[in-house]
Amino acid sequence: MASSFKKYSRTVLRVFFLIFGYVMSVFFKLAYRSRGKKMPPIRNLILLDSATTLAYKIRTRKVTSLEVVESFIARTKEINPTLNCFVDDRFEAARNEAKEVDEIIKSGRMTEEVLAKEKPFFGVPFTTKDCIAVKGLLHTSGLYKRKNIRATEDADVISRLRNAGAIPIGLTNVSELCMWWESNNTVHGRTNNPYDTNHIVGGSSGGEGCEQAAAGSAFGIGSDIGGSIRMPSFFNGIFGHKPSKFIVSNKGQYPIPNSKEQNSFLGIGPMCRRAEDLLPLLKIIVSSPLNELKLDEDVNIKNIRFFYQEDDTGGVMTSPVNLEIKELFKRIVLHLDKTHKIKAQKVEMREFAKSSAIWLGNMTSPGPNFQEQLSNLNGKINLPLEFTKWFLQISNHTIIALFTALAEKFSPSFQSEKHLYWVNQRDEFRRKLVDLLGDDGVLLYPTHPTPAPFHNEPLTKAFNFSYTGIINVLGFPATHCPMGLNSDGLPIGLQVIANDKNDRLCLAVARYLEKAFGGWVPPEIQA
Peptide bond into 289 cis (omega under 30): no
| Distance between CA atoms of residues 206 and 173, nearest Å | 7
Tell me if residue 355 is catalytic.
Answer: no
SS3 (DSSP) at 375: coil
3-state secondary structure of 410: coil
Choose the catalytic residue: 57, 119, 129, 461: 129
What number of other Cβ atoms are within 10 A of residue 258's Cβ? 17
Neighbouring C-beta atoms of residue 63, cutoff 10 Å: 18
C-alpha–C-alpha distance, residues 18 and 7, integer Å: 17
**φ and ψ of 173, to 5 deg:** -75, 155
Max alpha carbon distance in the chain (Å)? 81
Q: In what order do the strands lie in the sheet with 167-172?
A: 86-89, 167-172, 125-129, 219-224, 267-272, 239-242, 478-485, 491-498, 441-445, 305-308, 345-346
Catalytic option among 50, 141, 205, 228 = 228
Do 183 and 173 form a contact (C-beta atoms < 8 A)?
Answer: yes
Residue 443 DSSP symbol: E
Sign of CA dihedral 318, 323, 328, 333: positive
Please, which residues have CB within 8 angstroms of residue 10's CB and are 6 or more apart in sequence? 316
Residues paired with residue 138 on neighbouring β-strands, in sequence order:
150
- Between CA 262 and CA 473 the distance in angstroms is 8
Q: What is the rounded CA–CA span in Å between residue 241 and residue 471?
A: 12
Cα 213 to Cα 79: distance, rounded to the nearest angstrom: 11
User: For residues 521 and 118, what is the distance between their CA atoms, to the nearest angstrom?
Assistant: 32
Distances (CA, A) of 236 to 210, 401, 434: 6, 23, 30
Q: Which residues pair with 525 in a beta bridge?
A: 42
- 249 flagged as catalytic: no
Q: Is 287 a catalytic residue?
A: no
* 8 Å CB contact between 73 and 91: yes
List the catalytic residue out of 65, 71, 175, 204: 204
With contact defined as beta carbons under 8 Å apart, do 339 and 517 qualify? Answer: no
So which residues are the catalytic ones? Answer: 129, 204, 228
